[in-house]
């Protein structure tokens, strides 16, 4: 049995967002009380009251010398907490309760909260990278184009969850127009017409949708993904590759690694950081901060032990219907719209 000096217990603050994601959080305080190693830790639970409150609570924890701040929520809550912990000695932990849980999934944290508390008990802390887009810290991904546009529509919907996210893709995907971007990095300036431009510190958006399958949070580099325009015939393959971790092999995808890029576009528009959309100007600056945040990781990570989730299952139906239409390209637009309407009707039942 391990013995700990009570005077040297580590201090934890759990910051709980009661409205994030789709998971009821009423039982989480009892779970923490039952599962947390109280010989090793003293803890306090704080609930957020409004957008941005998690950042204020985490900043207070840093000032008080708290050892660990646990974000109990989705990627938005994780971002709010994490931005207060960057370049400090306080470690970030995650109890994933969001609709996507991109950072938790990249770190191979279990979606089972009991097992996540066990990982907190192990207290395996690593210094990892984070990114900055126009002065906004991010930990998973940021970018502009279609994903930022959908993030905005998702935020406007009010209703959370992967079904709502897929619903917005179905509603908006066919009408979205690619934009032209001038991208400057260490090798010069290049011009691209693109469906989206993403900068990834971690590998996925969430729900095991891998925008940057090879991304690492410890290499000091961003993975830049430029998705060139593609027609409706290509859409199923692109989406399938997003989920089976082979998107970087697609000929419509250009990828490279860099520490910093500057992007110029023709007009201001939406950007996102960790799925949170904001309106930004024509110039967008993105950079990496190596080993700038301490994060509790899974000491028994098994990266390949993943199961399909609701979003993957739902997309499979879409892909099947897309494949049925390959033989009659002239009628595709009308059929896709009909399929979309049918799927949207099912989602709203």
Question: Are 211 and 265 in the same domain?
Answer: yes
- Residue 62 belongs to a domain: yes
Question: Are 114 and 195 in the same domain?
Answer: no
Question: Are 81 and 145 in the same domain?
Answer: no
On whether the CB atoms of residues 50 and 79 are closer than 8 A, the answer is: no
Question: Among 7-21, 27-41, 91-105, 167-181, which stretch is predicted with the lowest mean pLDDT?
Answer: 167-181
Question: Are 116 and 142 in the same domain?
Answer: no
- Residue 153 belongs to a domain: yes
As a whole number of angstroms, the distance between CA 148 and CA 279 comes to 10
CATH number of 222's domain: 2.60.200.40
As a whole number of angstroms, the distance between CA 201 and CA 139 comes to 6
Dihedral-angle region of residue 101 (phi above 0 means left; psi in -120 to 50 means alpha; beta otherwise): left
- Residue 106 belongs to a domain: yes
Quote the domain boundaries for residue 191. 136-286
- Residue 129 belongs to a domain: no
For residue 64, pLDDT over 60 is answered with yes
* pLDDT of the residue at 330: 40
Question: Are 31 and 63 in the same domain?
Answer: yes
Question: Are 153 and 38 in the same domain?
Answer: no
The pLDDT of 76-89, averaged and rounded, is 96
* pLDDT of the residue at 237: 67
Buried b / exposed e along 203-238 (16+ C-beta atoms within 10 A): bbbbbbbbbbbebbbeeebbbbbbbbebebeebbbe
Question: Are 99 and 145 in the same domain?
Answer: no
Question: Are 45 and 98 in the same domain?
Answer: yes
* pLDDT grade for 175, boundaries at 50, 70 and 90: low
Domain termination residue (choose one: 98, 123, 148): 123
Domain termination residue (choose one: 67, 102, 123): 123
- Residue 308 belongs to a domain: no
Tokens of 272: 């996102």
Q: Is 265 helix (H, G, I), strand (E, B) or coil?
A: strand
- Residue 108 belongs to a domain: yes
Question: Are 82 and 168 in the same domain?
Answer: no
Question: Are 150 and 110 in the same domain?
Answer: no
Question: Are 188 and 55 in the same domain?
Answer: no
Instruction: Read off the pLDDT of residues 250-309 as tens digits, 9 standing for 90 and up.
Output: 777 899 999 999 999 999 988 989 988 889 999 999 999 999 999 999 998 865 434 444
Determine how many CB atoms are found less than 10 A away from the CB of residue 301.
12
Instruction: Read off the pLDDT of residues 8-61 as tens digits, 9 standing for 90 and up.
Output: 899 999 999 887 655 667 789 999 999 999 999 999 999 999 989 999 999 999
Question: Are 148 and 97 in the same domain?
Answer: no
On whether the CB atoms of residues 54 and 17 are closer than 8 A, the answer is: yes
- Residue 64 belongs to a domain: yes
Q: State which of 164-173, 282-291, 321-330 shows the largest mean pLDDT.
A: 282-291
CATH number of 28's domain: 3.40.50.10330
On whether the CB atoms of residues 112 and 88 are closer than 8 A, the answer is: no
- Residue 345 belongs to a domain: no
As a whole number of angstroms, the distance between CA 224 and CA 204 comes to 13
Residue 195: which of 252, 247, 272, 237 has the closest Cα?
A: 252
Output the pTM of the full model: 0.79
Q: What are phi and psi for residue 123, nearest 5 degrees?
A: 50, 55
Count of structural domains, the chain:
2
């Amino acid at each position: 049995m391990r013995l700990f000096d009570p005077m040297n217990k580590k201090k934890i603050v759990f910051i709980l967002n009661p409205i994030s994601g789709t998971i009821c959080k009423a039982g989480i305080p009892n779970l923490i009380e039952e599962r947390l190693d109280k010989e090793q830790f003293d803890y306090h639970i704080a609930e957020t009251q409004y957008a941005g409150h998690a950042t204020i609570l985490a900043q207070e924890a840093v000032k008080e010398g708290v050892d660990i701040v646990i974000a109990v929520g989705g990627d938005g809550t994780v971002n709010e907490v994490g931005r207060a912990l960057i370049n400090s000695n306080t470690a970030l932990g995650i109890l994933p309760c969001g609709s996507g849980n991109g950072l938790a999934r990249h770190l191979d944290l279990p979606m089972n909260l009991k097992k996540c508390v066990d990982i907190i008990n192990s207290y395996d802390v690593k210094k990892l990278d984070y990114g900055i887009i126009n002065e906004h810290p991010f930990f998973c991904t940021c970018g502009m184009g279609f994903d930022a546009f959908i993030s905005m529509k998702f935020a406007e919907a009010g209703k959370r969850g992967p079904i709502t996210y897929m619903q917005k893709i179905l509603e908006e995907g066919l009408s979205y127009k690619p934009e032209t971007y001038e991208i400057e990095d260490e090798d010069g300036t290049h011009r691209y017409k693109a469906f989206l431009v993403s900068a990834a510190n971690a590998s996925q958006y969430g729900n095991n949708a891998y925008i940057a399958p090879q991304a690492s949070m410890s290499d000091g580099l961003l993975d830049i993904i430029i998705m060139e325009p593609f027609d409706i015939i290509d859409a199923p393959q692109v989406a399938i590759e997003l989920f089976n971790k082979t998107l970087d092999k697609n000929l419509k995808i250009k990828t490279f690694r860099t520490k910093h890029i500057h992007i110029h576009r023709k007009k201001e528009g939406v950007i996102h950081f960790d799925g949170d959309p904001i309106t930004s100007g024509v110039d967008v600056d993105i950079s990496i901060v190596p080993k700038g945040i301490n994060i509790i990781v899974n000491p028994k990570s098994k990266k390949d032990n993943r199961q399909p989730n609701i979003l993957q299952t739902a997309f499979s139906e879409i892909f099947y219907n897309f494949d049925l239409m390959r033989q009659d390209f002239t009628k595709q637009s009308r059929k896709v719209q009909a399929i979309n309407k049918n799927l949207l009707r099912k989602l709203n039942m």
